[in-house]
Amino acid sequence: MLICGQILEELSKKVSRMGHKYLHRDRGLRFVRHAVKLDFSTMYPKGNLMIPASHGQLEAILKEPHGTRCGVGVVCHPHPLGGGTMHNKVVFRAAAGLVDAGLTTLKFNFRGVGASTGTHNEIEGGREDVRDVLDYMTAEYPGEDLTLAGFSFGSRTATEVGFDDDRVRRLISIGTPVDKYGDYQFLIGLTKPILFVHGDRDEFGSIETLRPLIDKIAKTADVELVVFENCGHFFDEHLNELRETVRDWTVRHLG
């Protein structure tokens, strides 16, 4: 299933770069242009639960760790309008890293994605969805240690919610899009542990922009930055390292 998912994701990228068009030879031997619309809802597994949300419900997948649970985790996916879903390969590895660390981990589709209800509403809607997910997880696992992670758009929404939400013990920001949003200053004054995982060739957030922000956050918080060399926003050649980084950092901080 993992290999199939990776192939489908690469296919979707190629189609997107083509402008959702392809050339087809008709019976008259002329090349004609047709629009392509791929319905990935039939290609990926459905969520194994639905979470109550302000707009209806959020589709989600919950994974249990082997052995004793050490806490719970949530992973938020990249921008829905860019094709982001809970099946994104970076989200998959981040969630696997949390499960490896002993956390019961949930990944979910933001509003308007997959079987989730509602309509995409940028950061405001994303923040509301994250809060709804935290409501669910803390109701189902009261008193459990909670780690909140996000990739790209998921980082932007998760870190803002987690900044002052007492239910969240620590944060993980992957592919932090500091150049795209330019408003991560809200993290200054953070008092929770936070891990930043980044590629040195990230297209949406340069290291030169990220480092000064991290230096400011580090004045009040336990901050770690892990940078992968020759790595872009989607961690294509570094996915296993990403999983291991999330696992190792989480295990250290659970102790």
**Co-location of 96 and 119 in the same domain:** yes
Mean pLDDT for 148-168 is 98
If one counts every other C-beta atom within 10 angstroms of the C-beta of residue 181, the result is 15
**Co-location of 40 and 56 in the same domain:** no
**Co-location of 242 and 176 in the same domain:** yes
Contacts of 219 (CB under 8 A, 6+ apart): none
Residues 51-62 have pLDDT tens digits of 999 999 999 999
Q: Is the pLDDT of residue 168 over 60?
A: yes
- Domain CATH for 211: 3.40.50.1820
Distance in angstroms (rounded) separating the CA atoms of residues 128 and 3? 33
Contacts of 25 (CB under 8 A, 6+ apart): 31, 32
**What pLDDT score was predicted for residue 48?**
84
**What pLDDT score was predicted for residue 255?**
77
Q: Is the pLDDT of residue 43 over 60?
A: no
**What pLDDT score was predicted for residue 44?**
59
Compute the mean pLDDT over every residue in the chain, rounded to the nearest whole number: 87
Mean pLDDT for 113-129 is 97
**Co-location of 136 and 38 in the same domain:** no
Q: Specify the DSSP element, H or E, that contains 228.
A: strand 223-228
What range does the domain containing 64 cover?
46-254
Number of domain units in the chain: 2
Q: Are 137 and 169 in contact (CB under 8 A)?
A: no
Mean pLDDT for 234-254 is 98
Question: In what order do the strands lie in the sheet containing 103-108?
Answer: 49-53, 56-63, 103-108, 71-76, 146-151, 170-174, 194-199, 223-228
Residues 56-111 have pLDDT tens digits of 999 999 999 999 999 999 999 999 999 999 999 999 999 999 999 999 999 999 99
The number of CA neighbours under 13 Å toward the Cβ of 36 is 18
Q: Is the pLDDT of residue 37 over 60?
A: no
Mean pLDDT for 125-137 is 98
Q: How confident is the model at residue 45 (pLDDT cuts 50, 70, 90)?
A: low
**Co-location of 121 and 36 in the same domain:** no
Q: Are 155 and 173 in contact (CB under 8 A)?
A: yes
**Co-location of 26 and 112 in the same domain:** no
| Rg of the chain over all Cα atoms, to the nearest angstrom | 19
**Co-location of 4 and 74 in the same domain:** no
Mean pLDDT for 227-245 is 98
**Co-location of 129 and 224 in the same domain:** yes
**Co-location of 34 and 156 in the same domain:** no
**Co-location of 66 and 37 in the same domain:** no
**Co-location of 13 and 94 in the same domain:** no
Q: Is the pLDDT of residue 165 over 70?
A: yes
